[in-house]
Structures are given as structure tokens and as C-alpha cells.
């Protein structure tokens, strides 16, 4: 029986092998001034925000929900942190805490409206998508907020043990969430709610509380991603920060094998999916493909990989095997 991560790994491996063979400079890695440089390193550094979003999105989708607002939460958290650093003279710790607080507040609003308001998750988070970016633009007067703060910038392009800090942050968050899902009852509760919320409630699970926690965790991951993105370019760009990132996050989760119907969380698969998307994006950029064509190509490749995970594709393979053997 194949592992549930088989096809996501096949897709990622095929993409990596293609680039290693046919993309000039893709495999080059060098150590300079105690830091690793190279395209393969950049895959993890630049892919860290997508990985963080995919981690949070996995939790939400596993409960049968969806969160379309993560890109806007990224922009809002980055804007708040940057404004506190520049306009109000706050230190880095307080600015970071404020950014995280914004994420938690946005997640709490999403969770409360879904859980206690009875509104469909896609509607609630779509409203937050618009509201979050609108708030970010209002706070910054729709201007980029530039800053020069080496301590804050460290979270975007610093290194630790020669590795990019964003990659280490994403790895730490993935490890914590993975342990919570597989070593505690939280994972069982999340999947039980996604599989059958009524049965979970009758079994005594605090369905409402768990849903709240899940949406808050998702928005918290988005806030971390937003501050990393701002720190990386030394500015909060509210017009572009997190733009279309919610789609990449959902796509990464689906590519990783987590069903949109809920009831199952495949965190490792989501991380593989995020790396797949980042690898594809990097490959297209290195080949000079314009953004509009990049979006089309990503959609086609994503549909192909998703189809490879369906029962109909498995049946097609079984029908082709006898003919191949003959």
C-alpha cells in the first residue's frame, strides 16, 4: 500500500530532478561569510511563508473549514509591526507581540463568526480577506512603510548555523504542530470534528472551543509569515504582501493529500506541497516566465498532481498495467 505522501513526493522529486538537469545554476550551493547561498537554499527561505500558511491551513481544512484571509492577515500583521517600529518607537519584542496579537484577534473573529455565528467559513474569511487588507491600507494610508532595524530584519534574512532564519522558524512551527497533532489528543479531536462534528459533539468534545483554537492558530501562522515577509524586504508593502498567498496555501494542503472535506490532517504532505509550489515558482522565474503565464502553469501542474491522487487515476493505472504487460 502506497504512503499517502507518495504522489506529492513524486511530483516534488520530478520537479527537482528536472531543474537539477536542465536549469543552469539550480544545484549550485556555496558557503560565504558563514552563510549558505544557492537556489536550493532559497527554496526553503522564500518558501517559509507558504509553509507557515500551509501549516495553519492544514488545521483549518482538517476540521472541514477554510481560511481565505491568511494573505490579508499577513499584510496587516506586517503593517502593524512596521508602524510600531517606525512611527511609535516601540522595540522589536513589543512590535513582534503586537503583530502576533493582530493575528490572534483576526483568527478569533473568524472562529467566533464561524462557530457561534453559524456563518459559512468561506463567507467569513472572504470578508476578513477584504477587511484585513483594507485595515492595513488604512493604517498605512496605502503607503509602504520602510524601516531600518537589524534586529527585526534578522527574522527575514538572518542566518543561524549557516541556515536562513525563516526556514528555521517554519521548521520549528511545523515540529510543534506535528507533535501536537500526533502526540496529543488534539490531532484526534481535530480530525473527529472534521469527519463528523455532530458525532464529535455527542461524544463530549468541545467542538466550538477547538474550532476557535484552530482558526486562531491559522491566523497566528499567517501573522508570523507576514512579519517574516516584511523583515525580508525591510518594508511593509500592504498592497502586495500576502497577495494570492491564500491560494498557494490551500493548494499546498490539497497537493499534500489533505481532503477539503475535512476529517484528515496530513501536515508532512502540506509541507511537501508548499515546497512543490515554491520550486515551481522559482523554476519559472529563473526561466523568465512572466507572472501571468506563471499563474496559468501553476494551475495546470496543480490540477495534474491533484488528479494523480484521485481514485479515478488509480483505476486508470490499473487498466493500463495489463496492456503494458502484454
Q: What are phi and psi of 29, to 5 degrees?
A: -130, 135
pLDDT at 123: 96
At 216, list the grid cell: 486562531
29, β-bridge pairs: 38
Count Cα atoms within 13 angstroms, Cβ side, for 295: 6
159, β-bridge pairs: 164
Alpha carbon distance 14, 8 (integer Å):
10
Whose grid coordinates read 520602510?
A: 146
Give the helix/strand (H/E) hosting 164: strand 163-164
30, β-bridge pairs: 37
Q: What is the DSSP string of 279-316?
A: HHHHHHHHTT--HHHHHHHHHHHHHHHHHTTSHHHHHH
Alpha carbon distance 73, 179 (integer Å):
25
pLDDT at 32: 85
SS3 234: coil
pTM for the full predicted model? 0.91
- The answer to whether residues 42 and 278 touch, using CB atoms and an 8 Å cutoff, is no
Give the helix/strand (H/E) hosting 149: none
Q: What is the CATH number of domain 36-309?
A: 1.10.3470
- Between the CA of residue 92 and those of 11, 64, 80, 298, 316, what are the distances in Å? 40, 36, 12, 37, 56
Q: Which residue, 173, 187, 179, 185, is CA-closest to 63?
A: 187
pLDDT at 309: 65
- Between the CA of residue 118 and those of 114, 220, 247, what are the distances in Å? 5, 22, 24
Domains in the chain: boundaries? 36-309
Task: List the pLDDT tens digit at each of the 326 positions of the chain.
Answer: 567 788 788 889 999 999 999 888 888 888 888 888 899 999 999 999 999 999 999 999 999 999 999 999 999 999 999 999 999 889 999 999 999 999 999 999 999 999 999 999 999 999 999 999 999 999 999 999 999 999 999 999 899 988 999 999 999 999 999 999 989 988 889 999 998 888 988 888 888 999 999 999 999 999 999 999 999 999 999 999 998 899 899 989 988 888 888 888 899 999 999 999 999 888 888 888 887 788 888 778 767 767 776 778 878 888 887 654 44
Amino acid at each position: 500500500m502506497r504512503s499517502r505522501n507518495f504522489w506529492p513526493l513524486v511530483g516534488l522529486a520530478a520537479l527537482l530532478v528536472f531543474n537539477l538537469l536542465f536549469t543552469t545554476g539550480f544545484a549550485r550551493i556555496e558557503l560565504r561569510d558563514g552563510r549558505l547561498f544557492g537556489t536550493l537554499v532559497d527554496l526553503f527561505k522564500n518558501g517559509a511563508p507558504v509553509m507557515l500558511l500551509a501549516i495553519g491551513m492544514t488545521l483549518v481544512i482538517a476540521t472541514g473549514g477554510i481560511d481565505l484571509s491568511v494573505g490579508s492577515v499577513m499584510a496587516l500583521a506586517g503593517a502593524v509591526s512596521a508602524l510600531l517600529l517606525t512611527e511609535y518607537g516601540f522595540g522589536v519584542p513589543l512590535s513582534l507581540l503586537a503583530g502576533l496579537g493582530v493575528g490572534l484577534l483576526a483568527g478569533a473573529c473568524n472562529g467566533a463568526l464561524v462557530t457561534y455565528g453559524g456563518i459559512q467559513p468561506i463567507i467569513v474569511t472572504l470578508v476578513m480577506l477584504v477587511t484585513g487588507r483594507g485595515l492595513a491600507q488604512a493604517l498605512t494610508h496605502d503607503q509602504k512603510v520602510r524601516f531600518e532595524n537589524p534586529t527585526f530584519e534578522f527574522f527575514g534574512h538572518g542566518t543561524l548555523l549557516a541556515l536562513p532564519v525563516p526556514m528555521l522558524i517554519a521548521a520549528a512551527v511545523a515540529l510543534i504542530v506535528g507533535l501536537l497533532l500526533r502526540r496529543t489528543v488534539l490531532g484526534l479531536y481535530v480530525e473527529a470534528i472534521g469527519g463528523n462534528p455532530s458525532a464529535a459533539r455527542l461524544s463530549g468534545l468541545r467542538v466550538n472551543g477547538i474550532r476557535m483554537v484552530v482558526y486562531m492558530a491559522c491566523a497566528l501562522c499567517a501573522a508570523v509569515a507576514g512579519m517574516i515577509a516584511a523583515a525580508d524586504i525591510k518594508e511593509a508593502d500592504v498592497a502586495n504582501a500576502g497577495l494570492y498567498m491564500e491560494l498557494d496555501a490551500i493548494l499546498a494542503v490539497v497537493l499534500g493529500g489533505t481532503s477539503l472535506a475535512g476529517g484528515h490532517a496530513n501536515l508532512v504532505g502540506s509541507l511537501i506541497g508548499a515546497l512543490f509550489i515554491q520550486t515551481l515558482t522559482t523554476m519559472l522565474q529563473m526561466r523568465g516566465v512572466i507572472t501571468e503565464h506563471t499563474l496559468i502553469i501553476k494551475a495546470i501542474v496543480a490540477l495534474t498532481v491533484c488528479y494523480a491522487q484521485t481514485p479515478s487515476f488509480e483505476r486508470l493505472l490499473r487498466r493500463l498495467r495489463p496492456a503494458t504487460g502484454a
